[in-house]
Copies of this chain bind each other. A is one copy, B any other.
Amino acid sequence: MSGSAPSLPHLIIIGCGFGGLEAARSLARAALRITLIDRSNHHLFQPLLYQVATAGLSAPSIAAPIRHMLRSQRNLTVLMAEVSSIATAAREIELADGQRLPYDYLIVASGATHSYFGRDDWAAHAPGLKTLADAFELRGRLLSAFERAETLADEAARQPWLNFIVIGAGPTGVEMAGTLAEIARHTLRDEFRRIDPAAAQVLLLEGSDRVLQAFKPELSAQAQRQLQGLGVQVRTGCKVVGIDAEGVDVEQAGRRERLPARTVVWAAGVAASPLGRQLGVPLDRAGRVIVEPGLNIPGHAEVFVIGDLAAAHSLDYRGERRPVPGVSPAAKQMGRHVARQIIGRLKGQVLPAAELPFRYRDYGALATIGRKAAVADLGRLQFSGYPAWLFWLFVHIYFLIGFRNRLVVLMDWAWAYWSFQRYARIVVEPVSGEERH
């Protein structure tokens, strides 16, 4: 490898999401060799994935090719590969193609995937939203649903194609539901001759008692009002007990109900990456790795777990120990914290005891509901509505990677805002021959 002596320590980072990327960049000048492994070739700006799923942005606007981003970092090699196993005793990992890579330090940042609470058969009927493949699948289904309704002569046969159900009222579910309602009522207006797209029903189902469970109750209430203003039907205390190709079965207040819908979106459960199980240490109920305060695993000071895969805790501003949420800023901060420790150790130093535990700085949470509505919880400051939406807009553009991406996204949104249009309305013909009838 160019420019690196074989005697340098070798760090392997698995996963190039927010955590892995931040760790890699923070070590740009460190005296070690880094191998960054991801099974896709791009870093994904996940907060905007729902925009690709709803045809508002094209995929390249929110995804940056990893090796292009990091091409100037000479101590870093990027590999697009899948990691099949980790052997912490031997200090090596194994790739899907059988290659073994030894390491001196390991950061596992492979994130989370969907959890269907044990009902993996639901996955085929209710795709989630974690990857670009997910976003394309959802986009194809939602656009095709309106198309299918338009071809049907029978009105009764049409309505299930115009019913959309989103399961889970966290930020992703809220954003999807709000955007679906906008698409039906505004974007597609005038474009159909047989159906009225505004007749589409968008249901948002939530098992707990309020939407945006992680936000303050006043903001949950605001968000629900804004959703309803957009035409979304919000049902809280509503538990999903079955999903098939034609709809969803729910239980609410002791009664069971059938909700016919041809398009169902899963935004309800998250499960940690299977790589967590490879580490041989205790996991929490969601499969996340229970890490020590410094983010390493028990018994191995050289193995760290960060991001959505980690079950980490931090003291909040009141000094209380709270779980670190699975959000992008937390992943980035964890990446930096691990990098700091590694840099110290390379110099033969250990962080002072007071600085060793990870401290999460909570800058607040944002969720957008529609083209003019959002909620923002910045700790002592909360606001909603149009100002929150503007704030949300600028934060997201700022954190996008690359000038061009920011410019194109800004352009897309400015135009879309003005004209209600969405510019990525592509349905790719089914390659495998599967069609939904």
Whether A120 sits at the interface, judged by CB under 8 Å, is no
A191 contacts B42, CB within 8 Å?
Answer: no
Complex interface bits, A27-43 against B, C-beta within 8 A gives 1, otherwise 0: 00000000000011110
Q: How far is the CB of A363 from chain B (nearest CB, A)?
A: 30
**A40 touching B427 in the complex, CB below 8 Å, given contacts A80-B151, A144-B80, A151-B99:** yes
* A117 close to B (CB within 8 Å): no
When distances are taken between beta carbons in the complex, the residues of chain B under 8 Å from A411 are 404, 407-408
Within the assembled complex, what's the spacing in Å between the Cα atoms of A31 and B358? 72
What is the distance, in angstroms, from A432's C-beta to the closest C-beta of chain B?
7
Q: How large is the interface on A (under 10, 10 to 19, 20 to 34, 35 or more residues)?
A: 35 or more
- State the CA gap A69–B210 with chains docked (Å): 40
Which of B68, B148, B193 contacts A77, CB < 8 Å?
B193
Measured between beta carbons, the chain B residues less than 8 angstroms from A65 are: 425-426
Tell whether A273 is near chain B: CB-to-CB under 8 Å.
no
Taken together as a complex, chains A and B put the C-alpha atoms of A61 and B411 apart, in Å, by 14
Given contacts A137-B431, A192-B67, contact A81 B151 (CB under 8 A): yes
**Interface membership of A270, Cβ < 8 A:** no
Decide: B153 and A99 in contact? CB cutoff 8 A: yes
Closest B residue to A76 by CB, please name it. B193
A136 touches B428 (CB 8 A): yes
Known interface pairs A59-B426, A71-B191, A408-B408; A133-B77 also in contact (CB < 8 Å) = no
The answer to whether A214 has its CB under 8 Å from any CB of chain B is no
Bound together, the chains give a CA A411 to CA B58 distance in angstroms of 15
Q: Can you spell out 28 A-B residue pairs with CB atoms less than 8 angstroms apart?
A: A1-B193, A40-B427, A40-B429, A41-B143, A41-B425, A58-B58, A58-B59, A59-B424, A60-B423, A65-B426, A68-B191, A68-B421, A71-B191, A72-B190, A77-B150, A77-B194, A79-B151, A80-B148, A80-B150, A80-B427, A95-B151, A97-B437, A132-B426, A133-B428, A133-B429, A137-B431, A404-B415, A408-B411
